[in-house]
Amino acid sequence: MKYLIHFLYVAWYWNLPLAFFIVKREIAGERRYGINTTGTDNLKGIMPAEDRVHITMYEPVNYFSAEWLMDRVTAEEKNTGFLDVGCGKGRVLAIAAAYGFSSVTGIEISPRLCKAIPQGRYTVHCMDARYYDVPDHIGVIFLFNPFDETVMQAFIQKVMESLGRESRPLKVLYANPRCRQLWLDAGFEETDSFVKMKYLQGSVLERKI
């Protein structure tokens, strides 16, 4: 039933071909990673209005976009820390672990979504990304359009503070990259990108030393 509901949701807001494309991969991806993350949540009633104005509703990144971006991670980068910002129910955390990251961390502002993530498998911080001190071992950050420019600018400042403490290469895997320019303005370079079926988009942004 959840796949039918998700199919109708995608078909209504976008189109039928995209719905078929996404839901086929939803079924395979949920089975492959052994998780239950399909669906949406507008977070109404559990998030203060002043927070909801800056964040997007819960909708997990589609498997095509997530895996395309994760395929751009090198073996060396998998030895660093992985951080998913706006990790929802943990879809990308599970993917990162399957891809071989030994250190997998997520940030999620919604307590309800945090409780849906399997306990003990990852490090999850239930908090506002604007106040999160990015650990200095993080080498890869994943984003799926988690919030607006106001919060993204504050989070980028936290990233730059971490890089100031520990200068290192850093790769940002950004699905639906609406705030990409903010990262470019901060000194990151876009090294790869994709557009699939018009609506699925992703960007690889890197800071090199």
Q: What is the mean pLDDT of the chain?
A: 92
Task: Supply the pTM of this predicted model.
Answer: 0.94
Mean pLDDT, residues 9-19 taken together: 95
pLDDT tens per residue, range 86-143: 999 999 999 999 999 989 999 999 998 999 998 878 999 999 999 999 999 999 999 9
The pLDDT confidence band at residue 50, using thresholds 50, 70 and 90, is low
Closest listed residue to residue 2, CA positions, set 45, 52, 59:
59
Compute the distance between CA of residue 122 and CA of residue 99 in angstroms, rounded to an integer. 14
pLDDT tens per residue, range 162-191: 999 999 999 999 999 999 999 999 999 999
The third-level CATH classification (topology) of the domain covering 63-207 is: Rossmann fold (3.40.50)
Query: What is the pLDDT at residue 28?
Result: 98
Percent of the chain with pLDDT over 70: 93
The ranges assigned to domains in the chain are 2-46, 63-207
Residues 92/66, Cβ–Cβ less than 8 Å: yes
Tracing tokens 């290469």 back to the chain, one arrives at 169
CB environment 128-164: b (16+ within 10 A), e (fewer): bbbebebeeebbbbbbbbbbeeebbebbbebbeebbe
Residues 84/37, Cβ–Cβ less than 8 Å: no
Compute the distance between CA of residue 168 and CA of residue 149 in angstroms, rounded to an integer. 25
Report the SS3 class of residue 167: coil
